[in-house]
Amino acid sequence: MLMPHEKLDNNAPIVTVKTRTPLHLDQGVTAEIVSFNGLSDDKEHIALIYPAPQGSEGKTPLVRVHSECLTGDVFGSSHCDCGDQLHEAQSKMAAQGGILLYLRQEGRGIGLYSKIEAYKLQHDEGLDTFAANRHLGFADDLRDFCLAADMLKALDIKDIRLLTNNPEKVAHMEGCGVKVTERISTGYFEKEANAHYLRAKKDHGHRFSED
């Protein structure tokens, strides 16, 4: 993963837009779904571009860099806050426009099957999500947020307002050439099943709107 102090790789392939097409959404808006060529990990990451309301064109766009979470995003798991954050971002962007970058980086980059193994460790041994990943031999976070920066640059976006609780996302985006003019916290979606998970995120530097 590129750290904020590291130099950009000028020899890296240029990321370009592959396909853009309208996508009709349940929020009553038509967004644009975008695929890309040249992404460094060869995975199928996408952007969802919500239209800006009339009169607000040119405003620094609201951006959410969201890592795929099948259990939370699709199945509604209450063990995390991923699905809640995704749906909150979609609601905000349906109202004010924005760009949702959906990265195929399940389980902080460890993959779905390993994430299920981490879930078992959390359930059986009481480990938090970070400790469970380490127990399986992974670092706390294997995600590469420079992918998101490359996608934005392919869309000719250089300045953003970033919807995130994770200051590392801000640092990585700026280290990869995208200026973050504002960090906006998501809501705090605590449930009985995810309280331990949210405490672990706080302990690792995440800043929630209630802080």
Q: Please identify which of the residues 81, 84, 143, 150 carries the catalytic annotation.
A: 143
> The dihedral of CA 91, 93, 94, 95: what is its sign?
positive
Concerning whether 141 is annotated as a catalytic residue, the answer is yes
Q: What does the alpha-carbon distance between residue 99 and residue 47 come to, in Å, rounded to a whole number?
A: 7
Residues contacting 25, CB < 8 A, separation 6+: 31, 90, 94
Q: What is the DSSP letter of 6?
A: S
What does 44-66 look like in DSSP terms, one character per residue? --EEEEEPPPTT-TTSPPEEEEE
Residues contacting 110, CB < 8 A, separation 6+: 118, 133, 136, 138, 142
Q: What does the alpha-carbon distance between residue 3 and residue 83 come to, in Å, rounded to a whole number?
A: 27
Q: Please identify which of the residues 73, 81, 84, 141 carries the catalytic annotation.
A: 141
- How far, CA to CA in Å, does 112 sit from each of 1, 107, 115, 134, 171? 20, 6, 5, 16, 26
Give the residue among 123, 193, 151 at the shortest CA–CA distance from 18.
151
Q: Please list the active-site residues.
A: 141, 143
